[in-house]
Amino acid sequence: MDTITDKTVAEIVSKNIKTAHIFKKHGIDFCCGGGITVEKACAKNNVDVALLEKELTNVAVENSNAYRYDQWDLDFLVAHIVNIHHTYVEENVPLLIQYTAKVAKVHGHHYKEVVEINSLFTEVANELTTHMKKEELILFPFIKKLVQADKEGYSLDAPRFGTVNNPITMMQDEHENAGDIFKTIAKLSNQYTPPEGACNTFKALYAKLEEFEQDLHQHIHLENNILFPKAILLEQKVQS
């Protein structure tokens, strides 16, 4: 009975394009050099075959836990956003920068849309990086102070930015801009559908862009619809 390690890299990526990102992380060529078995690819690239097999097995497993985010303390929700969604963006932006640039360079002469996608993703990646730092350095620490003040029963002086609604409004505007950019990317990519006969890197790019957009939607939902409204109410409570 064949195991994952007996299959070729190309076979695995063709069956589940999301596995491409696992191979990419470990420096294994899944496109032109994907005709060798996983076991041989691991030996060639000095990768722990057991570790890679575990990661490949886990990549298709969906997390079915239904979290009740609206019932979490705001400081815990902030930690979740940073540890899950900010970390996701930080880890995946460099990979997508590589993918978009490579596909634009190799296929841009025939598929003009990938050149624009490359430009748009670079723009949104830079904006998100700055956006997250503003949250982590300014907004989120103040929300944590609000939670602490509420728990310990003391009032807070107004922050330098006046009220929490000011940075929240800025963050919401930036969320909207990022969402609009991804709407354009989705349209340009035909809802992340690669052209017939596309190479594995082309397929991996569209699959990863779709995954990135899905994570971004969840990320923005947690902030716009749960964290921010509750932070505004909590500030009113603490400062009343």
Question: What are the angstrom distances between the C-alpha of 122 and each of 54, 146, 214, 227?
Answer: 32, 35, 18, 27
Write down the pLDDT at residue 20: 83
Mean pLDDT of 164-184: 95
* Of 58, 85, 104, the domain-final residue: 58
Q: Which residues of 75-89 are buried (b: 16+ CB within 10 A; e: fewer)?
A: bebbebbeeebbebb
Q: Mean pLDDT, to the nearest integer, of 203-225? A: 93
What pLDDT, on a 0 to 100 scale, did the predictor assign at position 210? 95
On whether both 151 and 43 belong to a single domain, the answer is no
pLDDT of residue 123: 98
Q: What distance lies between CA 143 and its chain's CA centroid? A: 23
Specify if 218 maps to a domain: yes
- What integer pLDDT is reported at residue 137 of this predicted model? 96
Q: Give residue 3's pLDDT band: very low, low, confident or very high (50, 70, 90).
A: confident
The pLDDT of residue 75 is: 96
In this structure, the answer to whether residues 114 and 224 fall within a common structural domain is yes
**Do 56 and 22 meet the contact criterion of CB atoms below 8 Å apart?**
yes
What total of structural domains would you count in the chain?
2
- Judgement on whether residues 217 and 141 belong to the same structural domain of the protein: yes
Return d(Cα 15, Cα 23) in angstroms, integer: 14
User: Containing domain of residue 29, as a range?
Assistant: 4-58
Asked which of 63-77, 78-92, 154-168, 216-230 is least confident by mean pLDDT, the reply is 63-77
The reported pLDDT for the residue numbered 19 is 85
Mean pLDDT of 199-206: 94
Considering the domain architecture, whether residues 45 and 147 belong to the same structural domain is answered as no
Among 4-8, 35-39, 172-176, 194-198, which is the least confidently predicted range?
4-8
Task: Please report whether residue 64 resides in a domain.
Answer: no
Tens-digit pLDDT profile for residues 60-117? 554 444 577 888 999 999 999 999 999 999 999 999 999 999 999 999 999 999 999 9
Specify whether 141 is located in the same domain as 229.
yes
pLDDT at 222 over 50: yes
- Amino acid 63: pLDDT: 41
Unique residue bearing structure tokens 């978009």: 100
Both tokens of 205, joined, read 């790019």
21 and 80 share one domain: no
For residue 209, is it within any domain? yes
Question: Considering the chain, what percentage of its residues have pLDDT values greater than 70?
Answer: 95
Residue 84 confidence (pLDDT): 95
Looking at the domain assignment, is residue 49 inside a domain? Answer: yes
Torsion of CA 220, 225, 228, 230, to 10 degrees: -150
- Do 36 and 97 belong together in one domain? no
**43 in a structural domain:** yes
| CA 132/CA 124 separation, integer angstroms | 12
54/74 same-domain check: no
pLDDT tens for 27-63 read 888 876 778 999 999 999 999 999 999 998 887 554 4
Same domain, 106 and 12: no
pTM, 2 dp: 0.79
Does any domain span residue 63? no
174 and 232 co-located in one domain: yes
Q: DSSP letters of the chain?
A: ---GGGSBHHHHHHH-GGGHHHHHHTT---STTTTSBHHHHHHHHT--HHHHHHHHHHTT--------GGGS-HHHHHHHIIIIIIHHHHHHHHHHHHHHHHHHHHHTTT-HHHHHHHHHHHHHHHHHHHHHHHIIIIIHHHHHHHHHHHHHT---PPPTTSSTHHHHHHHHHHHHHHHHHHHHHHHHTTTT-PPTT--HHHHHHHHHHHHHHHHHHHHHHIIIIIIHHHHHHHHHHHH-
| The predicted structure's pLDDT at residue 158 | 82
Asked whether residue 135 falls in the same domain as residue 222, the answer is yes
Domain assignment present for residue 27? The answer is yes
Give the pLDDT confidence score for residue 11 in this predicted structure: 83
Return the pLDDT at 65: 47
Q: What is the 3-state secondary structure (H, E, C) of 122-181?
A: HHHHHHHHHHHHHHHHHHHHHHHHHHHHHHHCCCCCCCCCCCCHHHHHHHHHHHHHHHHH
**Residue 180, domain member (yes or no):** yes
Do 73 and 54 share a structural domain?
A: no
What confidence category does residue 155 fall into, taking pLDDT thresholds of 50, 70 and 90? confident
